[in-house]
């Protein structure tokens, strides 16, 4: 038995890009009280009666558009990342789990406890928010109250340096009018109730601006992936893209730091849907900075972070 184990956790994915599997996945995801704060007595009839029947088939189409021959991009990149971190940490057991879908956090921790004495969990969410990180914490503590959790890493100097390098490399390859730093949005009500997410994303943007050789006037931040009628953090990425196109800024570079692995939001929402909106309103070129995915540099960052804090 080894002394230490590392569990990397990402959001999750349907098993397949079919309507039944997507429906099961969305039901689990959208039943999480950390994601949807509406009382279940009000929310569940709406979820089961309207949202799942209408949204599942549409979302399945989007998943099919970005599915690879190896499966879900999010799962594939996370598996490859785990393999690289394992090579860098041979004295540890390194596994992965998903907040929703498979492999489940609880099942994976049960298996890990057969192989190691102490477990460190790293949610692959750079920024803390109730709707992602807190759910991981809750599920981990239910399975292993003694597990150590590294609950965020967006303020780590090495992470910011790595992300800035990724952005600068992409910027230098083209001629862009704007860099848009787009974070996954959350409901404004969460921030009003004390969620630190907006503060952390704004702080990261400020740190990236310091590191980038790009004029500050050419950098904007935005939030994407809004769901439902309630107000979310602004400015919305889609509105920002419309404004930039109308201002004659026809070539934009977009980076989405909330997503360490390319997934539905980066591959379908940004590269397809937002690109189409941008083009239809006068834009020319929308290029995404690749996510960190399973890059050797990101694997090394995780290794260093865990060995320092785990």
Q: Which two tokens stand for residue 100?
A: 């929703």
Cβ–Cβ under 8 Å, residues 151 and 137: yes
Token readout for 308 is 């320092």
| DSSP conformation letters of 233-271 | SSSBHHHHHHHHHHTT--EEEEE-TT-SS--HIIIIIII
Encoded tokens for 63: 């998943």
Helix (H) or strand (E) holding 175: none
Q: Binding site for Fe(2+): what residues are annotated?
A: 184, 265
Helix axes 135-143, 105-112, angle to 10 degrees: 40
Torsion of CA 13, 14, 19, 23, to 10 degrees: -90
Instruction: Pull the structure tokens for residue 221.
Output: 């931040």
Alpha carbon distance 51, 287 (integer Å): 31
Sheet containing 116-123: give its strands across: 92-100, 2-12, 116-123, 148-149
Give the position of tokens 């980076």.
255
Contact 245, 281 (CB under 8 A): yes
Q: State the binding site.
A: 184, 265
Q: Does residue 133 have a cis bond before it (omega within 30 degrees)? A: no
């Amino acid at each position: 038995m080894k002394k230490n184990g590392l569990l990397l956790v990402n959001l999750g994915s349907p098993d397949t890009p079919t309507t039944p599997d997507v429906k099961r996945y969305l039901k689990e995801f959208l039943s999480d009280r950390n994601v949807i704060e509406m009382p279940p007595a009000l929310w569940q009839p709406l979820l089961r009666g309207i949202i799942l029947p209408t949204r599942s088939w549409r979302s399945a189409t989007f998943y099919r558009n970005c599915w690879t021959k190896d499966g879900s991009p999010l799962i594939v990149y996370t598996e490859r990342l785990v393999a690289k971190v394992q090579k860098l940490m041979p004295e540890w057991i390194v596994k992965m789990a998903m907040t929703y879908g498979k492999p489940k956090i609880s099942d994976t921790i049960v298996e890990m406890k057969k192989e190691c004495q102490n477990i460190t969990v790293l949610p692959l969410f750079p920024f803390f928010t109730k709707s992602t990180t807190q759910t991981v914490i809750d599920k981990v503590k239910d399975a292993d109250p003694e597990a150590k959790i590294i609950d965020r890493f967006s303020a780590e100097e090495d992470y910011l340096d790595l992300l800035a390098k990724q952005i600068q490399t992409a910027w230098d390859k083209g001629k862009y009018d704007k860099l848009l730093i787009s974070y996954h949005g959350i409901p404004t009500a969460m921030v009003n109730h004390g969620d630190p997410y907006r503060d952390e994303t704004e702080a990261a943007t400020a740190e990236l601006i310091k590191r980038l050789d790009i004029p500050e006037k050419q950098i904007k931040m935005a939030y994407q992936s809004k769901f439902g009628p309630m107000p979310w953090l602004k400015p919305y990425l889609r509105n920002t893209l419309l404004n930039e196109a109308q201002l004659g800024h026809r070539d934009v570079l977009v980076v989405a730091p909330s997503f360490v692995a390319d997934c539905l939001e980066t591959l379908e929402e940004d590269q397809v849907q937002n690109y189409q909106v941008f083009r239809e309103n006068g834009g020319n070129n929308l290029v995404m900075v690749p996510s960190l995915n399973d890059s050797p540099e990101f694997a090394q960052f995780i290794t260093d972070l865990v060995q320092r804090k785990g």
